[in-house]
Structure 1
Amino acid sequence: MTTRQGNLLTDHPELYEARFPDPDRLAARWAEDRLRHHGAGPRVLDLGCGTGRDAAHLHAAGRRVVGADSSEAMLAHARDRHPGPEYVHADLRGFDLGERAFDAVVCLDSAFLYAHTNDELDGLLSSCRRALAPGGLLIAEMRNGAFFLGRTELLDAPAVSRFTWEGTAYRAVTTLHVDRAAQLLRRRRVWTADDGLPPTEQHSAWRLLFPQELRYALAAHGFTVLALHDGPGPRTEPPWREGDPEPGATADGDRLHLVARLAAS
């Protein structure tokens, strides 16, 4: 089979939103709830903002939001479809937004885990520290590396998904495997469509961070962990409800939720 290389959803943000419609803006609502719970000020950096939906939700909640992403296609879509925030190009593994100071950095949907190496993770956390005002918050939700210790249900067989957008039917076959040496969850996804174009093959990966490893890295960069748990959160069961208190420090589920505060001085 001849395939094109690329990222169908990142290169075509309108397809991303069709595949993941998210009408309730669950991740953004969870982030806003945590911002209020922990008394964050109004200035928010949405790091890895993608199509801008979450940034726009935070903006509508009264935040002064800057959305940052490394994909120019995503940023162009965000400016056109989800106005309100300011959108800027930045690589989360190392960025400098100048003299701006934010009250919180929000990093949703496993964007945090695109820092694959220790140097890249240090670059991410150093950049967040530089961007935050003293006492600022780091709020993130991501896949949980500890989930894959002896668990194989997400790895045993390919997952197939389908959706239709503007009359074209799309089908994705997704295979996950754990690269233990690199400590990465690698994903191979092959997209086909009934429009006659060749299939598109996409490769991506997430860092598998373990909870105690994450605590250690955060402490090294001046952060105190306020909450680190597997649920409830925007993509977990039982469902998260606005106003829920932080649960205990459990970490057996697929998703990990983080709230950390930068030292006040």
Structure 2
Amino acid sequence: MTADPSGTPMTSGNLLTDNPALYEARFPDPDRLAGRWAEDCLRRHGAGPRVLDLGCGTGRDAAHLHGAGRAVTGADLSEAMLAHARTHHPGPAYVQADLHGFDLGEGVFDAVVCLDSSLLYCHANAQLDGFLASCRRTLTPGGLLVAEMRNGAYFLGRTDLLDIPTVDTFTWQGTTYRSATNLFVDRTAQLLRRIRVWSADDGSPPVEQHSAWRLLFPLELRHFLAAHGFEVLDLHDGPGPRTEPAWREGESPGVTADGDRLHLVARLSA
């Protein structure tokens, strides 16, 4: 392991997950667009005040929902992320939990929020079943599941996101970081695999990191939700916090599911 002058380690782990402040520098959201979109969904469908932000990461969205007057618990598997959230985005309660299966109490939340493709880290059907069964257990009857993620259907016949690497450069605390990201579809596993090579101008060697998202299709997602007692209220490709153009206050949900992002609101049957 090496470290840059700011003290951020360049390791073979997940550089952004292991370094939450760097994550926020790489993915700034000064207007809290994701949190505002989630709050709009909750308000539009009449959700109660108790919210679980599952895969809360650095805590930005959980803190926004808390600021909107909700009683929020942020849950994540990464202790580094949770430590950062408690220090930099106070207000919510923060707990460690695995989205593949968790038990935070029965009927204790009015809504579960799962943003930024966190749900797609359920790679296997059993993991997705575990996630939905846990959501069902922790929600009150009539509770909401709000999620935002990549759309597997987008990759049917499209290769624009696969053809060339995505290169990003940003500077944080005097060090310039560069990432080159390649995506490819693993059809057998139904995964969108990601290879990201990090480099920095501090002389540390490049680091290659691997991750993957489940490619879920809209009808497939509807089937899983119905099997666990959820009724789909909204399932569309935008507008949302990561679409182009991005969602704006007051915009209604779309009616198609063809774009790169998928936005879900589902209600647990009473």
TM-score, length-normalised on structure 1? 0.96
Alignment counterpart, residue 109 of structure 2, candidates 102, 114, 119: 102
- 8 Å contact from structure 1 (residues 7, 201) kept in 2: no
Q: What is the match of residue 260 of structure 2?
A: 254
Q: What is the match of residue 241 of structure 1?
A: 248
Q: What is the rounded CA distance, in whole Å, between the counterparts of 1:210 and 1:123 in structure 2?
A: 18
Q: What is the match of residue 12 of structure 2?
A: 5
Q: What is the identity, as a one-letter code, of the residue corresponding to 1:20?
A: F
Q: Gaps (5+ residues) in structure 2?
A: 1-9
Q: What is the rounded CA distance, in whole Å, between the counterparts of 1:17 and 1:220 in structure 2?
A: 36
- Cα displacement (A) at 1:4: 4.6
Residues 5-61 of structure 1, C-alpha deviations (whole Å, 9 max, x = no match): 211100000000011111011111000001000000100000000000000000000
- Cα displacement (A) at 1:234: 1.0
Alignment counterpart, residue 159 of structure 1, candidates 157, 166, 173: 166
Q: What is the match of residue 115 of structure 1?
A: 122
Q: What is the rounded CA distance, in whole Å, between the counterparts of 2:252 and 2:139 in structure 1?
A: 24
Q: Gaps (5+ residues) in structure 1?
A: none
Q: What is the identity, as a one-letter code, of the residue corresponding to 2:259?
A: G
Q: Do structure 1's residue 91 and structure 2's residue 98 form an aligned pair?
A: yes
- The sequence identity of aligned pairs, in percent, is 77
CA 1:4–1:245 in structure 2 vs 1: closer, same or farther (change >3 Å)?
Answer: closer
CA RMSD, aligned part only? 1.1
Alignment counterpart, residue 183 of structure 1, candidates 190, 196, 201: 190
Count of matched residue positions in the alignment of Structure 1 and Structure 2: 261
| Superposition misfits of 4+ residues, deviation over 6 angstroms | none
SS in 1 for 2:170: strand
Farther off after superposition, 169-178 or 95-104: 95-104
CA 1:224–1:100 in structure 2 vs 1: closer, same or farther (change >3 Å)?
Answer: closer
Alignment counterpart, residue 222 of structure 1, candidates 229, 233, 253: 229
- 8 Å contact from structure 2 (residues 76, 95) kept in 1: yes
TM-score, length-normalised on structure 2? 0.95
- 8 Å contact from structure 2 (residues 141, 268) kept in 1: yes
- Cα displacement (A) at 1:253: 0.4
1:64-213 paired onto structure 2 within 5 Å: 64-99=71-106, 101-213=108-220
Q: What is the rounded CA distance, in whole Å, between the counterparts of 2:141 and 2:107 in structure 1?
A: 13
